[in-house]
Structure 1
Amino acid sequence: MRKPQSVQALTGFGRTRLSKTFFMRDFLYSDIATIHGLSNLPDDPDLAIAAGTRLCHELLEPLQDVFGRLAVRSSYRSAEVNGFGCAQQRAGKAGYNCAANHKDLGGHIWDRRDADGCMGAMACIVVPTFWNRFQAPGDWQRLAWWIHDHLPYSQMQFFPRYFAFNLGWHERPVRRIDSFVAPKGCLTKPGMANHRGSHEAAWRGIL
């Protein structure tokens, strides 16, 4: 598939069904692209579809089946949009939270493989039903540990507003959880003492 160059082509691309409830259009909106008039469309639509399909089937749909509707805050970014956002962040502009392109390949940049040739995809989401019940300091860890115990994620990074978090799928999953909300830092990663085994004591009661 070629990069969409017309309204008709983009309409067709947006209608691509990635899973039972998610379509490609759900992941294409970008605040950065909208404000700055940039194109947030993949150079390799087929790779974006393949990676997005795995993200939806293996992570988003199972999570939604358990917790109800997910709200997608930010997801796919073209290399142009992500690179612009990273440059603005480095310049100290508020509201731009993009990693360097080489770090986001196979992450928010779905249509380019990472340095190891692997594909991946990431979405920043909010779980409204969880936020409605759990807003105490550190409560985000309940959801993080549930996902860790139940889903084949690669990365999670949690943020303060609504406990939104990046949820990433990858062909070679890292299985790492970080947070920008207290307690900040790395919750777990391979090699840490808390990485293996069940964490039911931490997430019991959230369902």
Structure 2
Amino acid sequence: MKSIAVLASHNGSGLDAIMQAVHEKILPLNIALVVSNNTEAKVLQKAEDYNLTCKLINAKTHNNPDDALYELLKEHDCEYIFLSGYMKKIPSILTCNFKIINSHPSLLPKYGGAGMYGRFVHEAVIKNNESKSGVTIHEVNEHYDDGKIILQKSLQISPEDTVDTLEKKIKNLEKTAIVEGLALCLK
């Protein structure tokens, strides 16, 4: 069974989808580690509740956080990393040594890049009167939201949709997309 680490800076909602899929034997994965760079991240408590190993790694906890993260991932035999709202650029020491997968709340290449995450994406989509939006599961390279696309799931935007309603719809769609995307990676 392959081991995965989940990196998150806040809630780490993707962890829930992965945990459920592992529990239901949809994904043959071992969630070896959950890491956050944010002391206040709710994902750390969530990982403890799931009885998973969790670590805090940032500039306050380590002199070189990137190296510390690399060593921790190696120590836990992680082959895969899933980014669940991890708000730090991924260094080449990780992109060159692990298969890193991200979930982005738009249909890339639209609404991707630096500064385009979470609510900012949905605000831009609504402002530009887009007729559809969605989720992209993609590999991570050294550029923001630029890696090979694994899969995309889309939905229609209704004229009544607001930033809040779109965000909720995308989060629901994302749960399915994460599991399907990881399943494709494991084949």
Bin of the TM-score, shorter chain as denominator length: under 0.3
Which has the greater radius of gyration?
1
- What's the TM-score, normalizing by structure 1? 0.26
Higher-RCO chain (CA-CA 8 Å, sequence separation at least 6): 2
The structure richer in strand per residue is 2
- What's the TM-score, normalizing by structure 2? 0.28
